[in-house]
Structure 1
Amino acid sequence: MRDSGDLLRRINEGRELAALLADGFEFNVRRKSGDESARLASGLPLERISGDFTGGMFYLCGTEGTVRPVLYASSEGDSGVIATDLNEALALVVGLPYWRDCLKYSAGGDLAAMESATDFLCRDLLANRPTVAAEQSRVAEALGLAVEPPLVLTTRLHAAVKSAGADFYFSDDTGEYGGLFGKFSPSRNQSWR
């Protein structure tokens, strides 16, 4: 497992890799501007590491030399820990590009609902982006990551979001953010019936 500094250096130094992560997997290390008032309830430091095209932001929590969970804060006022470290977060965004939709269709945090959504989302991803497997392999190889099966990533994501606890409640000048689990079940999506 690489440390977060090494992974971020590799991404920043590899223009093609950074572009593929930004365009294909919505992890843009060039998009780090954000609200300086961002904070955690615990007072742990936050380091902005990346943004997505919707205005969401990825943060490393804690100080260097410690295990640093990755927190995602959306532009819509939702936040939560998505991975125990940057390796796991990158495996998630690369291996399951629709991870946000897995949370959206989680029926309030139900793992079975997330697994069902994952099946539909993977089908849709392959139909809409037939080159995704090759792109995933290129990024994984460049970063020394394993491409995990989608359901493994879904289970890991569920555990990370569910177990983070009150220390990781995120807020900024707009107020305290809500959690990442969405209220919809997969049956809400008409095209998945």
Structure 2
Amino acid sequence: MESLIAAIREQAEAARFLAWPGDFDLDRGDHVEEVHLASGAALEGFAGDGAGGTYFFCGEGGEERPILYADSEGGAALIAIGVQELVRLVLVVPWWRDCQAFTDEESHELEAEYLEDMPDLVARRNRAATALGLDLPDRAEVLARLREVATRLGKDFVLVFTPEGHSYEPLFAD
């Protein structure tokens, strides 16, 4: 299978949607702080957001590795297993950081706010997904998977601020 990261770089419209409203930019992979995983597993920044947050691959391997997101305020969470799952999350629920309850109702309210500013959001998202060859799951499925990854699987992925040895705070509560 072709690299999804390479496909994003080749598909300008998809890359633009992922950058905004998705706030996922492949040209922003440097984290401003020195960090490591408490487990000692490898950590590789590969993308970022406009507010200084970073997306990291965890462990060894390729695009199928677990992905941890760290914001610039000292919060972090495992949010996806593999780039394909991450891109689906960002396409379907670009406001995922604000879905603290992981509910469809909460997401629907956030979507309404985005649609006020960007009435063509759904059309742009669908074009981006098509350009990348991705089928999109429904919002409830994406949110349920985010909850599972962030609160259950993510317990083994603790990000540590290396100079002081303290852990980042979880982005999502159980």
Q: TM-score range by the shorter chain?
A: 0.7 to 0.9
Q: CA deviation at 1:20?
A: 2.9
- Superposed, 1:1-193 pairs within 5 Å as 2=1, 6-35=3-32, 37-64=34-61, 67-103=64-100, 106=101, 111=102, 114-172=103-161, 173=163, 175-181=166-172
> What residue identity is the alignment partner of 2:74?
G
Give the helix-richer structure, 1 or 2: 1
Query: TM-score when scaled to structure 2?
Result: 0.87
CA deviation map 1:85-138 (0-9, x unaligned): 1111110011101100102xx3xxxx5xx3331121122222332111111112
RMSD: 2.2
> What residue identity is the alignment partner of 1:34?
H
Moved more, 152-161 or 165-174: 165-174
Query: TM-score when scaled to structure 1?
Result: 0.80
Name segments (4+ residues, structure 1) moved above 3 Å.
Answer: 13-17
Q: Percent identity?
A: 34
Q: Distance in 2 between matches of 1:33 and 1:66?
A: 18
Give the strand-richer structure, 1 or 2: 2
Q: Distance in 2 between matches of 1:66 and 1:144?
A: 16
Q: Distance in 2 between matches of 1:66 and 1:29?
A: 13
Equivalent residue pairs, number: 172
> Mind listing any 5+ residue stretches in structure 2 that lack a counterpart?
none
Q: Distance in 2 between matches of 1:123 and 1:138?
A: 20
